[in-house]
Amino acid sequence: MRIITRTVWILSLVSLFADVASEMLYPIIPLYLQQIGFSVAWIGLLEGVAGFTAGISKGYFGKLSDEKGLRLPFVKTGYFFSALSKPMLAVATFKMWIFFARTLDRLGKGIRTAARDALLSKEATRQTKARIFGFHRSMDTLGAVLGPIIALTWLFYNPGGYASIFYLAFIPGLLSVVLIFLLKEQKQPASTLTAGNFFSFFSYWKIATPAYKRLVIGLTLFAIANSSDVFLLLKAKQIGQNDNTAIIAYILYNIVYAVSAYPMGIVADKTGKKKVYLFGLMLFAVVYGGFAFATSSLAVYVLFFVYGIYAATTEGIAKAWITNMAHDQNTATAIGFYTSMESVSSLLASIIAGVLWSGAGSGYVFFFSTALAFVVILYLWKTKEV
Q: What is the pLDDT of residues 90-113, one digit of tens each?
A: 887 777 888 888 888 888 988 998
Determine the residue type at 298: L
Q: Are 379 and 218 in contact (CB under 8 A)?
A: yes
Point out the least confidently predicted range of 132-136, 144-148, 157-161, 224-228. Answer: 157-161
pLDDT in tens, 284-330: 999 999 888 888 888 889 999 999 999 999 988 998 888 888 767 78
- Three-state secondary-structure class, residue 94: coil
The whole-number pLDDT of residue 18 equals: 94
The second-level CATH assignment, the architecture, of 6-179+204-381 is Up-down Bundle (1.20)
The whole-number pLDDT of residue 189 equals: 67
Position with higher pLDDT, 301 vs 29: 301
Residues 6 or more apart in contact with residue 143 via CB below 8 angstroms: 15, 16, 17, 18, 19, 20, 21, 22, 23, 172
Determine the residue type at 219: L
Quote the strand ranges of 143-295, DSSP E.
Answer: none
Of 122, 149, 152, 148, the closest CA to residue 136 belongs to 122
Q: What share of the chain is helix, strand, coil (3-state, %, to 5)?
A: 80, 0, 20
95-122 vs 72-91: helix crossing angle, rounded to 10: 160
pLDDT in tens, 44-53: 677 767 777 7
Chain length of the chain: 386
How far does the chain reach from its first CA to its final CA, in angstroms? 24
Q: Are 287 and 307 in contact (CB under 8 A)?
A: yes
The whole-number pLDDT of residue 190 equals: 66
For 22: left if phi > 0, alpha if psi spans -120 to 50, otherwise beta; the answer is alpha
The whole-number pLDDT of residue 74 equals: 94
pLDDT in tens, 168-223: 899 999 999 999 999 988 777 666 666 767 777 888 888 888 888 999 999 999 99
Q: Are 58 and 340 in contact (CB under 8 A)?
A: yes
Q: How many CB atoms lie within 10 A of CB 5?
A: 15
Exposure string over 253-270, b if 16+ CB within 10 A, otherwise e: bbbbbbbbbbebbebbbe
pLDDT in tens, 156-168: 888 777 778 888 8
**Cα 329 to Cα 206: distance, rounded to the nearest angstrom:** 15
Q: Are 282 and 310 in contact (CB under 8 A)?
A: no
Q: How many CB atoms lie within 10 A of CB 179?
A: 17
The whole-number pLDDT of residue 180 equals: 94
The alpha carbon of 137 is separated from its chain's Cα centroid by a whole number of angstroms, namely 10
pLDDT beyond 60 at 1? no
pLDDT in tens, 237-260: 888 777 777 878 888 898 999 999
Q: Is this model's pTM higher than 0.85 or not? A: no
**Cα 173 to Cα 273: distance, rounded to the nearest angstrom:** 32
Determine the residue type at 71: R
Nearest 5°: the CA angle 53, 186, 55 is 10
**Cα 24 to Cα 29: distance, rounded to the nearest angstrom:** 9
